[in-house]
Structure 1
Amino acid sequence: MIRILNSTKRIVATIVATATWIAVAAQPNIIYDNDGTELLLNTYWNGAPLTLAHLDSLTSLAAGSQVGTYSICSGSDFVCYPSRYCRYYGDDRGHIDHGGNTALYNNMRTCYDNLLRIEAEGGEFMRSSLQLARRHGMAAMIAYRMNDLHFADAETDCPVMWAEWWLKHPEYRIGDPSLGWHSAGAYDFAHRAVRNRKVSIIAEQLSRYRDDIDWYMLDFMRFFCYFKRGEGKRHTAEMTDMMRQIRRRADRESSRRKQPGRIKLAVRVAPSLAENLEKGIDLREWLEEGLIDLVSVGTHTLIDPAQPIARMRRELGEALNVPFYASTDMMTYTENEPVSEGMMRGFCSAALDQGADGIYLFNYFFNRYVSGHYQLERGGQVCRTAHPRMLHELGSRQMLEGRNKTYWLSDGKRQYGLRPNTPLPLTLKAGERRDVTIYVGDHMDSIRPREVIVFFRTRGEALLSLSLNGKPMTATRADYPALYDRCRRLAEGEHQYAVTMPADALRHGDNTITITAPAGSTPITLKRVELTLNYGDVETHGYF
């Protein structure tokens, strides 16, 4: 009898989820995420005191584009609304010392002052942002960070950034600094008290904003650290039970809404079932039980440009009965190398072509977009600042066709145990030949790039020979690395190169770049490989 009931419940969940997928698929398919602090610092308007008029103008940047859902982060240990569990972000309660880090204190205090300014105008930051999103024709989403580690470091000399509950309960922390940045201070979800507190905060937000939201996002990638090393798989049952509680709370608040409609739950997780299980996240079970209505997969800060979208779809099979999104991030190889326009196009094109239903633009800040002008890198070909115009193309593979772009591979750096989908770094001995594969989303039915460039970085100097899908390179371009801003973070002993390939060698799908080291050379380490498609001048076809 129990098995029959469970089967029936899963069939019903599949029907509901399928209906949700149809509804979402018919809408613009970008979720635009804002972490809140960009708005609270009002960086787009050069740090002017925040007003409701500013909020309206900032929200409207996404209106009329491919953005169907506007997401605002509610926080984690600190929040942007009056809460019974958490302090306002930046609130020093009139007595908390700023310590020695006055810059961080002033940053947080600016956010707090702007929260109060919005309230003095008769608004409320979260509710006003959500309502403005709907007014501009977008669905409204709250994103909650499940284990935000920005504020989980007692060594940072700024007491205003330490949450009271976190300070009071050091026994609930993971305590291992080797798992990633600030991981020692991360909450350990093996403790029932931690899970219960998270459910309580989420329930408070669902209750407070039930009439203002369409979606609620549980962001497990901020940060991807939930248990002591090797213990995540032991706690999947507890994590699934936590998700059931959240689903019940969401459904309860849905029944109390002024307008009928279910509050839909989304999750942002890793692009691998195995890696999610290592953190206690049984994504297949959550889907089969109908606990979630959308899945977005992504990484942490350093974007994995070759997210295995198609492979994860195959892994999930029929369990994946909800929209499946690919999540971007801010940086490429290091935290000082922002994703460029061309690289963002390459990521989105590959993800959409391999089966992503949409794009989750995470922390795609417009804070460096100044007075309507592009901020270009030296050489004038590359733009690394986010521009609102990109919201009109990143959600459509067809719109991305014929646009200048770069496809590339991660250099292999890991964050919180995540293994990027890359063979790099790759060491070649004298005379050795190795292949790397880069997926190209362009179909090139009506237009082909006028130039195909391979950029690559090595440790050790040698005249490598390259070919693309069996066709040899046509020329070495010593001027291109500087022209295309490819010399960033070039370490001692590293060399940056660019070669052109026959344009007719490029094909839709997997492209094999073969690298051959010359005979008699010392071992060379291949650190970066990028495939750039130049369709024409940047003003017409987009910046790289």
Structure 2
Amino acid sequence: MNHPSRLIHCWPLFQAIALACTSTLSGAAPRPDDKPYRVIFNCDGQSVFANANGDVAAYVDNVFGPLVDTHVDALFWNDGAGGNTANYDSRVLERTGQRSGNVDVTLDRWLREGNDPPEIIVREGHRRGIDVFYSLRVNDIHDSFLPNEFASFKAQHPEWLLGIAKIKAPGDGHVLTPEVPSEVYSAEFLSSLNFAIPEVRDLKLRTIRDVAERYDFDGVELDLMRFPRLFRAFLEYRNSAVLTDFVRTVRQTLRERGTQRGRPFKLAVRVDENLVACRLDGFDVRTWVDEGLIDLLIVGDYAFPEGRDVRDFDRLTEDSPVQLYVCVAHPNKMIGGKTFLQGDSSSVLRGLAANYWHNGADGVYLFNWFPHTKPYQKALLHQVGDPLQLARVDKIFPADCSEYGPGLKRKGPSSPRYHNWLFATLPVALHAVQQRKSFTLIPVDVADRGDGDGARPAVRLWLELKNLVPGDQVVFQINGSPLTPSGPAGSDGLLTLPLMSQQLKVGRNQVGVRLVERGRNAAGPILLTAVEIHLDYP
């Protein structure tokens, strides 16, 4: 099936009026099954619950207050427990804290009073015309350092885990310590479940069936990016048939439930940022699309896809009814050292969303956003779902920076997201080269170069270089054209290079960096740690 939204990203007046009508609390008209969501908002249920201080009305306001009259058409609700224990009235999973004797007393009271969180979320979402999915973190590993989330079944069946570990007493403050040191199975994901074991898959299936039978969700999300370590290292691809069988079984379960209730029960899956990483993790996305096993395909995590990756997924789904969404999450690295935990990152989030719309996404998916406590994120919910609104506002287009590499704590891909950032070009050490043409090339996707009608933005290239010393000579280029910095790098290693719009391409740009000569007092290599193209409108 062709996807009209990928051809013309606009919202006609009659659609806007209809959407405004469905946002009222008096009830909403059913949403057409084939109409893409502009924005899918993934809600971390633990944060909104904790910040409500035990008040149900405050909980509802924390979740839905920031979403009303925005571009959010679907809420993917996670209960905040990671899928191994439950922060709701599950018939399959034990309550969070049960093993450690620390069950949440507020949730106890809510359940006694008939306030089961998923019932609240579904009811209130539908009143506001928002579709609601249950988001299952398929293999979450926060329980490797959060004792309350470590379930009894893991303590009883250590053979189900990927890591070789010793379980410590809850009072020690940590759940697991490695028994056998390993570069592959670090302490971060000792608690990952091995999905080659039938009992593991059966437990997850029973959890999904319980949710589908008892709550009126519009669908289920299999969040494979929490976390994408489902099989023994280097055997993931060989086990792809096992995972596909699991997806088939989930699909069959939801179809049966949809038939019983007379309304489809959709299935969404979130996967790696490119098809190579998907294949290495055992995610046979092509088969899932070809067999019609999924309705929504969500791509990306903190490692964000390049434009060509989005287009690969677009081609994969273009002749199917599967809708394509791309994850907008705070980058692992931003100029000046800001991370998703610090500061206002509106410009970079707008830049990512603009790129994904430009490269063929049917909509965007927001992960680890907390607009109930971050006002700048609430404002963004009125922008990121409409490419036209993103066209003439400040944007930052970043190059991706991995969580491992030169200058970072992790020297290799030993994190829970083992196959993410395979093609990230940052951070990178600059070494002397023999040929003048041998530039280190950093790709930067740009959806808007600022040369349309109206006011023109200031366009600048920002770079961050570490370990600079007097005497260093480094040259720069953009798409083969030489560039001159506006001044020397500051003590923070930041360089700004002015650009003209004509020097940029709408699409993939190549920023070139080459070390000409190293200063005499250098103690280590120059590290290029961040590259960004900024559009700042007057």
TM-score, scaled relative to structure 2:
0.78
Measure how far apart 1:397 and its partner are. 1.7
Measure how far apart 1:27 and its partner are. 5.1
Distance 1:18 1:85 in 2: 41
Code of the residue aligned with 2:139 in structure 1: it is N
Measure how far apart 1:24 and its partner are. 6.0
Please say if 1:403 is aligned against 2:401: no
Please say if 1:227 is aligned against 2:231: yes
Measure how far apart 1:503 and its partner are. 4.0
1:127 to 86, 108, 119: 119
Distance 1:166 1:146 in 2: 15
Matches within 5 A, 1:111-126: 112-126=104-118
Distance 1:421 1:509 in 2: 17
Measure how far apart 1:359 and its partner are. 0.7
The C-alpha deviation readout for 1:352-391, integer Å capped at 9, x for no partner, is 111111111012112542xxxx5xxxxxxxxxxx521111
Distance 1:310 1:54 in 2: 35
1:251 match: 255
Matches within 5 A, 1:269-418: 269-299=271-301, 302-304=302-304, 306=306, 308-313=308-313, 316=316, 320-333=320-333, 337-338=339-340, 340-366=345-371, 368-369=373-374, 386-412=376-402, 413=404, 414=413, 415-418=417-420
1:381 match: none
2:43 to 30, 34, 37: 34
Which runs of 5 or more structure 2 residues have no equivalent in the other structure? 8-30, 165-181, 405-412
Distance 1:181 1:354 in 2: 37
CA gap 1:174/1:308 in 2 versus in 1, 3 angstroms: farther
CA gap 1:520/1:36 in 2 versus in 1, 3 angstroms: closer
2:27 match: none
The C-alpha deviation readout for 1:335-367, integer Å capped at 9, x for no partner, is 971171111111111111111111110121125
Measure how far apart 1:88 and its partner are. 2.0
2:245 match: 241
Which runs of 5 or more structure 1 residues have no equivalent in the other structure? 1-13, 99-108, 375-385, 488-494, 537-544
RMSD between superposed Cα atoms in Å? 3.1
The C-alpha deviation readout for 1:311-357, integer Å capped at 9, x for no partner, is 42366265654110101234423997117111111111111111111
- Report if aligned partners of 1:477, 1:500 keep a CA contact under 8 Å in 2: no
Secondary structure of 2:297's match?
strand
1:207 match: 213
2:75 to 70, 73, 79: 70
Deviates more, 1:276-285 or 1:119-128: 119-128
CA gap 1:507/1:86 in 2 versus in 1, 3 angstroms: same
CA gap 1:180/1:416 in 2 versus in 1, 3 angstroms: farther
Distance 2:186 2:308 in 1: 23
Deviates more, 1:421-430 or 1:128-137: 421-430
Please say if 1:266 is aligned against 2:268: yes
CA gap 1:355/1:420 in 2 versus in 1, 3 angstroms: farther
Aligned pairs, how many? 465
Aligned-pair identity (%): 24
- Report if aligned partners of 1:428, 1:517 keep a CA contact under 8 Å in 2: yes
Code of the residue aligned with 2:149 in structure 1: it is M
TM-score, scaled relative to structure 1:
0.77
- Report if aligned partners of 2:348, 2:396 keep a CA contact under 8 Å in 1: yes
CA gap 1:315/1:503 in 2 versus in 1, 3 angstroms: closer
- Report if aligned partners of 2:307, 2:508 keep a CA contact under 8 Å in 1: no
Code of the residue aligned with 2:458 in structure 1: it is E
Please say if 1:174 is aligned against 2:158: no
Secondary structure of 1:518's match?
strand
Measure how far apart 1:498 and its partner are. 2.4
- Report if aligned partners of 2:332, 2:401 keep a CA contact under 8 Å in 1: no
Please say if 1:80 is aligned against 2:84: no
Distance 2:130 2:485 in 1: 48
CA gap 1:429/1:29 in 2 versus in 1, 3 angstroms: same
Measure how far apart 1:398 and its partner are. 1.5
CA gap 1:253/1:433 in 2 versus in 1, 3 angstroms: closer
CA gap 1:175/1:463 in 2 versus in 1, 3 angstroms: same
Distance 1:193 1:256 in 2: 27
Distance 1:501 1:136 in 2: 45
